[in-house]
Every structure is written in C-alpha cells, then in structure tokens.
Amino acid sequence: TPRRSLLEDGSGQTADWQVSGSGSRVGRVVDTFRADKVLRYRANECSVSSKTGSGGGGVQLTIPSSVGQDQLTLSMDWFLQHNTSLSVTYAVKDKKPHTFHVHYLPSDTLLWTRGTRSIYYGVGLSYGWRRFTRNLLVDLQKGVAAMGHVPRTLRKISRSRVQVLSLQLCGEGRLDNLTLATAEHLQHFYAAADWLTRHQDHTGGWPITVPRTIVKDILQLASGWYSAMAQGQAISLLVRAAHHSGDLTYLHAAARATHLYTVNSTQGGVRAYFPGGYAWYEEYPTTPSLFVLNGFIYSLIGLYDLKETSTGPVSAKASELFNTGMTSLKTLVPLFDTGWGSLYDLRHFTTSRVPPKPARWDYHTTHITQLLLLSALDPDPVLRDTAERWTEYLHGKRASHN
Amino acid sequence: TPRRSLLEDGSGQTADWQVSGSGSRVGRVVDTFRADKVLRYRANECSVSSKTGSGGGGVQLTIPSSVGQDQLTLSMDWFLQHNTSLSVTYAVKDKKPHTFHVHYLPSDTLLWTRGTRSIYYGVGLSYGWRRFTRNLLVDLQKGVAAMGHVPRTLRKISRSRVQVLSLQLCGEGRLDNLTLATAEHLQHFYAAADWLTRHQDHTGGWPITVPRTIVKDILQLASGWYSAMAQGQAISLLVRAAHHSGDLTYLHAAARATHLYTVNSTQGGVRAYFPGGYAWYEEYPTTPSLFVLNGFIYSLIGLYDLKETSTGPVSAKASELFNTGMTSLKTLVPLFDTGWGSLYDLRHFTTSRVPPKPARWDYHTTHITQLLLLSALDPDPVLRDTAERWTEYLHGKRASHN
C-alpha cells in the first residue's frame, strides 16, 4: 500500500505556506464547482524564468520532515488560472549537494531546460480544474537527461539521492488535496487511459509524430506513423481501465484500436507479411518490413487481453487477429535464434543489405519473458522450448555446431 | 607436372620381380587384345588371407630407390584372372616403424580390414583388362580409419610418414604400364566420369544407398535418396569430361542429371520450397526440409557449369533452374547469418523443435568461398557483402547489437 501525506485540503488539513512579496497571499475558500473548501493563492511577483530558476517571492511550502523521502509522487486538484505555475525544488546528493528546480506551467511544449538547474514541463493550455499527478523523480530524471551539460554523476539519479525540499506556487490559482505519496498508480493509470481515449484518431490509432530512422536511407518512418506495439499496449491498458471502472468507453476505444492491425504497413497500417503469407504486426511499419520481435509480441498480448475481456464481434475479431499472429510467431520465432542469443528484428533478411541485429541482453531477456508468458496461453512446445534455450544462452550456452 | 616412374611395361621397361614358391612365375608375352607385350604372372601359393596378412610366396617387387617417396599413385593396365590380387606393403613412421598391407582383389565389398595391419579393397568382379589407378596414400588412410584398434598416432598418417616398400602379385593375371606417380588426376577424373555414366539411373540420378539420420526421429533419409549436391558435383565433373574428351556421352549424362532438380523432395526428388515459393535444391531432401547451404550452392554451381557448356534446350533448362535457385539463395542467405558466423542449415526453422545448427569454421569458410565464387557470376551485392561480413566473423568481428 502506498504511503500518502496529505499536505493541504483547504479545510481539515492546512499547510504552512510562506508568503512573500507584495500582493502575494493564500486563503481557504469554498470553490463552488467543487463544493468544497480549497486553497486559493496569488503570487504575482514571483517568476520561474529568473536567472537562477529558483523563483523569487511568491507562495512557498517547505516539505515537512514527516514526509518520507520516498514519497515522490505529487498529486492535487489544480485550478490553473492566469500565468500560474508550480515549482518543485530538489536537493540531489553529489560531491556537494546539487539543487534542481522543476517547473510545471501552462504550455504545449512538453519539456525544456535552462542551465544546469531548471527544468520546465508544459502541462497543456487547458485552464480550469484538473487532476494533476506527477512522479517527481521521473520528471527530474527526464529533465536532467534533456540537459546539455550536466556532470556525469548526475546523469543517473537514483531515488535515494533525491530529496524534495519545497514547493512554490506562482501566479493565480487554486488547489485541493495536495498530496505526496510513494505511488499513485491508479491516477497514472487513468490519466493514461483518458489520454488514449482523447487522442485516438479516426483510424483507431495513436499516430507517432517523431520521425524514426532504423537504417539510414533504407528503413525510415516519417512523422505520423502507427506502431502495432503502441496499439497493443494501449489496448492492454484500455481493457483494464474498462474492467476496473466499468466504463465501456475504454473498451470501445480498445476495439477501435484493432483496425490498424488489418491495414498493411504499405497502406499506412501496421500489418506486414513474411513470405508464405505470415502476418506480422509491426512495431515499426517500415517498407521493406522490419519484423521486430518484442514489439510484435506486445501487439499480440494486447489482442489477447481484448479477446478475453470482450464479447461478440469485438472478441471474435481480436481472436482472429491473435490466432493469425500466433501462427506467424510460432513459425518464424526460430529465425530469431542465432545459436547464442536472439535477433532484435529481421532487417538483414528484408533488406539483404545490412548485417543481422542481435538483441542486446535486456531485449533478449524481454524476449524470454514474453515467450514464457505466451507459453502459458498456448501449449505449442516451440514457445517454451525457445524460451528455455534462450535462457540457457543467457548463461553462456551455445547451440552445438555441426 | 606429376613425376612418374614406369616400373614395368613388358617390353622396354622390365622390373626385377622376385618369384618364390612352386609354380610361381612371371614372363613377358604378347597380349592379343592389347597387341602389345605385357607381364604375365602366376603365384598360386601365395595368399592374402594369411594370419599376418603379408602374403607368402608369390611374385614380389621391391620398389626401387629411384622412385620418390611422394610417388604414391599407382596405375596399371590390369587383366584380372582367377583369384588374383595386388598387395602393397607400406612402412609408416611411428615410435617404431609400422607395417601395413593393402590388398586389391576381385570383390563387390568396397573395404574391409583385419587386425592392425591388413586392409582389403574389393575392386569389383569384372574380369578382363581394365585401367587400374589408386591413390595408395588415400587407400591406406581410409583403411586405417576403418580399423578398430589402431594407436592414436596412426589415426592420421601424413604423406611424409609413408613409404611404399613392395608390391606383391598373387593368383593369375597380366599387367602393363605399371607406374608410380605423384599424381594421376586425369585417370581419376575419367574413372569418376565413367563411373557416373555407368551408374546413372532412370531418373538421371545417383541414388545413395546409405540411410542418413540428420535429427533422430525427425529428419531422416532411407536408403536410395538423391542429393542435389551429388547431382550438381556430378554435372560439374561430367561437363568437364565432355569438354576435355569431346565425348558427348558425358554431356548427355549431365543433362539427364538435372531432372531431379524439378522433382520435389516429397516425391523422391531434391527440390524443396521455402515459404514464399523459393525453390531450394536439397543436399539432404528430408521432409520437413533442411535447407543445407553449402550443398545447395554446389548444386547451383553444377547448373551453372551445364548452362555455360551446353546449348539449346539443355542450356535453357539449366539456366532456368540456376536462375530460380540464385533468386532463392540471394533472398534467403541472410537467414544463415547469426551475427557471428553462419548456420549450416535451417533445421531450426523447418522443425521448430531443434536448436539452430551453427556451421563449424571449415564449413563457414566453405560458405565464404562459395559466395565469393558466385559473386563473380552475379553482381547482386548481397553475395559479396555477405562473403565479406562472414570473412570478418572469421577474424572475431560480430554484428553490433541494438
């Protein structure tokens, strides 16, 4: 069970906000929309764009010592008004303690940084009440990774080195139920499920805007491509959201997400064919095809989840796609076996122009885990035998030569 | 140029045969069939089946010291009569010199041994004049390998350790042009070509009588199977015999040898199909298919040789089979690339029940040599690129992982 510390709810639990600067203030008021008392704040003079990035003035809260150092998930109901922001100040253990600031503010830019201390997350431009949940450790790690010049010792920051020192509110807004917790899985879960339902397009897919080059001049994807792995993992999440919430909106979104499995990658979908007519759902739907193993299996797991949790035509279609894919997998998985490890994809076969791409060990381990999972769903010995042989490769065994 | 020592031709060159035992004799007579003087011998009392295997009595010739130790190819015209045999006595250097006897005698049994000294080769049961050519070193090595209990130091006998001491004739017969030479390639060549024309069956093939188990209970061949590699190598030999001799009999045999390339391995032929319709000529035409790489390439080289040296429909058919096979090879050869070496076959794909079979380094080297040869005939970069990458594997390079 996660441990939670409620810091401020405008009524029963109030925090010790430090107010500085002229015009800055906090107060607890009844919010008519929420029909509840909330914290209202104003701190017009503070700025998150100052040279130090630490903000000056405003409304600040030092994290009480009663909050555990591992309570790094912040959540609150947040009413964003004009020019508002939330800033988090961290101390990170290093030779000497290093201070970072993560600022959350209305913007459509996902992430940017300044100097070696300041990280900015745009949280979108929609104003009004919202549920706001952030993993402060992940946001710090991603921000530091996005910085240009950071000492090597700060490139990887483990949880035990991080302490959240304080929060700072700027601009105008309201908040309620401000909490620091060890985890807020369910909130992240629904945030993701809701994002997926909001952003699903007319194809049932979630287009990926980042262009992707697998092999220069040969295997490339322009902005707007779909990934069978993304579709499959979205389905896996959505059917769980439907199951947990009882809200069929999620299930309908999951059902729509299968459409792209039936569209060939040459036509903007994710389906490729190995010679002999073996359908493969492509993590990267390049032309020629790539046949990435782990992404394909994730796409199958999505189909499995959907067929098991739906009924009627939706389940029937998911079953058909799943069975077709499983036949392909069981037929073709030996081609990923190098006798000492596994291949990440079949690029060497489809292009004939590049070397095979052995999977590094963490992908090899992923392959094993995936095959073991599928072997629990399908008794064909090729799944378990392959998983067992690939496990032996991890321990240095090699297939005997002739 | 091979060095040759003519030991006996019944007229200009006569050898110093030692005759012992009652009734044994040698003489030079005009043979009416050959219209030439030949050696006639009789040695009824000698026996190659004595306990020592060395024979007793008979007609014996000590090899003159003028014959080089590397002149290990014996040839003669030999008229086999009742109960005749030729025995060769060798000294092999070891801690102490070891004596071996190789006996050639009329029998349909190819090879047998007795004790640790005596090796027997059946030379067939046809009597009358024949051209007889043997590589005495190979016959010794094969015979010793067939023996049960031989010291380890004698398991591999290099040429420099072998000295032929003497020849012994038993029974009745005639011989002419007895020669010891460093090589008799052309005689071996025509002996093989003639054997092939004599033993080709109605399918144009040379059935292999040895049952073969590739993978127990899964990949097996019963006696009487055909091999695309055997067909291809036979074709390569036969077209050269036709070219060298001008005798079209050899070319016709080569043309007939392509028939089995058009018969599926499930129907007793050698053609298999990889999914997608890629024809593959099988060294081992198992069901399921095996897709041995090196044997397939030998089968293609045979087709190439035939299409280049024939005309009309024979050349057209060989071309079609060659081109079809080359398309398959260029498409599928990447599947043999493990990122650190090559696979011997695709058994792991066709059975899904066995690990992949990496080629040991001498087969890997064969693959490289074959691909380089084909890359001189076909500009598709996959041939040369693969050969070059596989050469790098020989030096320890590996394909980079993802």
In a domain, B401, yes or no: no
Looking at the fold, whether A121 and A38 belong to one and the same domain comes out as: yes
C-alpha to C-alpha distance for B69 and B159, rounded to whole angstroms: 8
In a domain, B74, yes or no: yes
C-alpha to C-alpha distance for B280 and B294, rounded to whole angstroms: 12
Residue B342's domain spans which residues? 187-394
In a domain, A9, yes or no: yes
Last residue of one domain, picked from the residues A183, A215, A238: A183
For each of chain A's 402 residues, which pLDDT tens digit applies?
Answer: 899 999 999 999 999 999 988 889 999 999 999 999 999 999 977 765 444 445 556 899 999 999 999 999 999 999 998 789 999 999 999 888 999 999 999 999 999 999 889 999 999 888 889 999 999 999 999 999 999 888 888 888 999 999 999 999 999 999 999 999 999 999 999 999 999 999 999 999 999 999 999 988 889 999 999 999 999 999 999 999 999 999 999 999 999 999 999 999 999 999 999 999 999 999 999 999 999 999 999 999 999 999 999 999 999 999 999 999 999 999 999 999 999 999 999 999 999 889 999 999 999 999 999 999 999 999 999 999 999 999 999 998 999 988
Looking at the fold, whether B145 and B217 belong to one and the same domain comes out as: no
Residue B336, phi then psi, degrees to nearest 5: -95, 0
Looking at the fold, whether A261 and A144 belong to one and the same domain comes out as: no
pLDDT confidence of residue B51:
44
CB contact, 8 Å: B129 with chain A?
no
Per-residue pLDDT tens over the stretch B152-169: 888 889 999 999 999 999
Task: Kindly state the average pLDDT of the residues B8-12.
Answer: 93
Long-range Cβ contact pairs of A22-30 (< 8 A, separation 24 or more):
A24/A57, A24/A58, A24/A59, A25/A59, A26/A59, A29/A174
What residues have CB less than 8 Å from A69, skipping those under 6 apart? A160, A162, A163
Looking at the fold, whether A200 and A224 belong to one and the same domain comes out as: yes
Domain count along chain B = 2
C-alpha to C-alpha distance for B234 and B241, rounded to whole angstroms: 10
In a domain, B399, yes or no: no
Looking at the fold, whether B203 and B340 belong to one and the same domain comes out as: yes
Looking at the DSSP bridge assignments, the partners of residue A80 are A128, A173
CATH code for the domain of A317? 1.50.10.20
Looking at the fold, whether B165 and B63 belong to one and the same domain comes out as: yes
Res. B50 pLDDT band, cuts 50 70 90 = very low
Looking at the fold, whether B240 and B334 belong to one and the same domain comes out as: yes
Do the chains contact at A402 and B359, CB–CB below 8 Å? Answer: yes
Q: Is the model's pLDDT at B349 over the cut of 90?
A: yes
In a domain, A401, yes or no: no
Per-residue pLDDT tens over the stretch B251-279: 999 999 999 999 999 999 999 999 999 99
In a domain, B72, yes or no: yes
Looking at the fold, whether B41 and B139 belong to one and the same domain comes out as: yes
Q: Is the model's pLDDT at B390 over the cut of 90?
A: yes
Last residue of one domain, picked from the residues A134, A160, A183: A183
C-alpha to C-alpha distance for B44 and B55, rounded to whole angstroms: 11
Give the torsion through C-alpha atoms of B175, B180, B185, B186, to 10 deg: -40
Last residue of one domain, picked from the residues B152, B183, B214: B183
Q: Are A316 and A244 in contact (CB under 8 A)?
A: no
Residue from B332, B352, B390 whose CB has the most chain A CBs within 10 Å, to mutate: B352
Chain B 309-368, residues with CB within 8 Å of chain A CB atoms: 330-332, 334-335, 337-341, 343-344, 348-349, 352-353, 355-360, 363
Looking at the fold, whether B154 and B124 belong to one and the same domain comes out as: yes
Q: Which of A277, A335, A348 sits opposite B349 (nearest CB)?
A: A335
Looking at the DSSP bridge assignments, the partners of residue B98 are B92
C-alpha to C-alpha distance for A39 and A28, rounded to whole angstroms: 5
Looking at the fold, whether B249 and B373 belong to one and the same domain comes out as: yes
In a domain, A400, yes or no: no
Q: Please state which of the ranges A143-147, A214-218, B121-125, B391-395 shows the lowest mean pLDDT.
A: A214-218
CB contact, 8 Å: B396 with chain A?
no
Strand, coil or helix: A8? strand
